[in-house]
Structure 1
Amino acid sequence: MTEPPRELTDPAALKAYAHPLRQRILRELHRNGPATATTLATALGENTGATSYHLRQLARHDFVREDTELGHGKERWWRPVSTDIRFPRSAGQSPEVQAVLAKLADDGLAADLATYARFAERRAEFGEWADAVPYSRGAVTLTPEELMRFFADYLDLLNRYRDNHDPDAQNSRRLLVRWVAFPDPGDG
């Protein structure tokens, strides 16, 4: 069952979430499951002190939690808390929060494009999955409220497939799905 979305309204939590290394830590935890500061440091090419500090900051704002069932002795394992993080609309926010939201969006899109480029470079290694890259571009005229309903419908569809997937299905694999909409800068 899909957990309810978490909207980040606290500026301190938003800033904590937006930190580039913390974003990398969260992506690694979502991709590979629970990890220690040491395993994250190795995977991300960072030092353990840095990953340990940033895990504690993420935990302080409830983005990760310690997994006490996996830890032994002083070993601390961490897991991500939520997969559906929502951000407040930029309008009406302080200039500082607007800047954090803009940087988070820019960094996220750049990371997604870099991930796609890594896939494209290695496409031949993916066998039949090499051609399984549906792509669509389009434009639609909507009100802001209609856009939010469109986005909600998209999330419902994504969650339906995620929640109803048979984990034992043969020939299935994790797919990265991205959706973005923005005003046409040449329109208006």
Structure 2
Amino acid sequence: MSSPPEPEQVDDPAKLKALTHPRRLRILTELRRGPATATMLARALGENSGATSYHLRRLAEHGYIEAAEEPARGRERWWRLRPHDLRFPPRSEQSPALAAQVDEFGRQKFQADLDLFAAFQAQRESMGDWGDVLPFSRGTLHLTRDEAVRFFEDYLDLFRRYWRSGEDGPPDARALAVRFVAFPIPEPEAPLE
């Protein structure tokens, strides 16, 4: 079994900006289904293969995708997702440019998660037993900042324990969207006088 990717600190706004381009995000979504060529991706996205090739090269340049070992047909090059575990410096240590990119990245990822959940809900009845798989938990913890950091590290340890690539899974395994979010609850604003 392959091991989960090592954490990668992203502190370069250009590297994150390369990831938050809308067309590149659509390409990455398609590549989650498996390796593909620029032509295949262009067809799936309704784009031209020249533009798709350009965006594939930018994604590869920043390490988000890599050449896949698929049988080449002519000059076609196959691409696949490169598993990654992106981490960002604490907000207080981010440059204004990086903070803006982290905010945009988060906004896009939250929207993509909402869209993915809506797609799950729309297909849930036709998924058989998999339609029952929706572990869900909400809660509030009262933690110190250090405890919050340890809690997140414990979650990541659990996640990494179960991680495997799609190729390493048994035939009855499915990809599951697993998300973790925790943030301080904002204090109520003072009432107007």
State the TM-score, normalized to the length of structure 1: 0.87
Confirm or deny that 1:41 pairs with 2:42: yes
Partner of residue 132, structure 1: 133
What's the CA shift string for 1:75-98, capped at 9, x where partnerless?
Answer: 011122233222222222222211
User: Cα offset for 1:44?
Assistant: 2.7
User: Cα offset for 1:46?
Assistant: 2.8
Please list, as runs of the form range in 1=range in 2, the aligned pairs for 1:8-23 lying within 5 A after superposition: 8-23=10-25
Between the aligned partners of 2:19 and 2:120, the Cα distance in structure 1 is 26
Partner of residue 112, structure 2: 111
Q: Report which structure shows greater RCO (CA 8 Å, sep ≥6).
A: 2
State the TM-score, normalized to the length of structure 2: 0.85
Partner of residue 150, structure 2: 149
Between the aligned partners of 1:164 and 1:53, the Cα distance in structure 2 is 27
Please list, as runs of the form range in 1=range in 2, the aligned pairs for 1:149-188 lying within 5 A after superposition: 149-163=150-164, 167-168=169-170, 170=172, 172-186=173-187
Partner of residue 6, structure 1: 8
SS at match of 1:100: helix
| 2:120 partner letter | F
Aligned pair in 2 of structure 1 residues 100, 66: CA closer, same or farther (>3 Å)?
Answer: same
SS at match of 1:21: helix
SS at match of 2:5: coil
Q: Using the aligned pairs only, state the percent identity.
A: 49
| 2:63 partner letter | D
8 Å Cα contact 1:38/1:48 also seen in 2: yes
Between the aligned partners of 1:105 and 1:20, the Cα distance in structure 2 is 13
Between the aligned partners of 1:74 and 1:26, the Cα distance in structure 2 is 22
Partner of residue 28, structure 2: 26
Residue segments in structure 1 that go unaligned for 5+ positions in a row: none
SS at match of 1:185: coil
Between the aligned partners of 2:136 and 2:156, the Cα distance in structure 1 is 17
Confirm or deny that 1:121 pairs with 2:122: yes
Aligned pair in 2 of structure 1 residues 127, 86: CA closer, same or farther (>3 Å)?
Answer: same
Larger CA deviation: 51-60 vs 156-165 = 156-165
Between the aligned partners of 1:89 and 1:120, the Cα distance in structure 2 is 34
Corresponding pairs, count: 186
Between the aligned partners of 1:44 and 1:78, the Cα distance in structure 2 is 15
Residue segments in structure 2 that go unaligned for 5+ positions in a row: none
What's the CA shift string for 1:7-60, capped at 9, x where partnerless?
Answer: 21222112112222222222322x212111111122233332222111111111
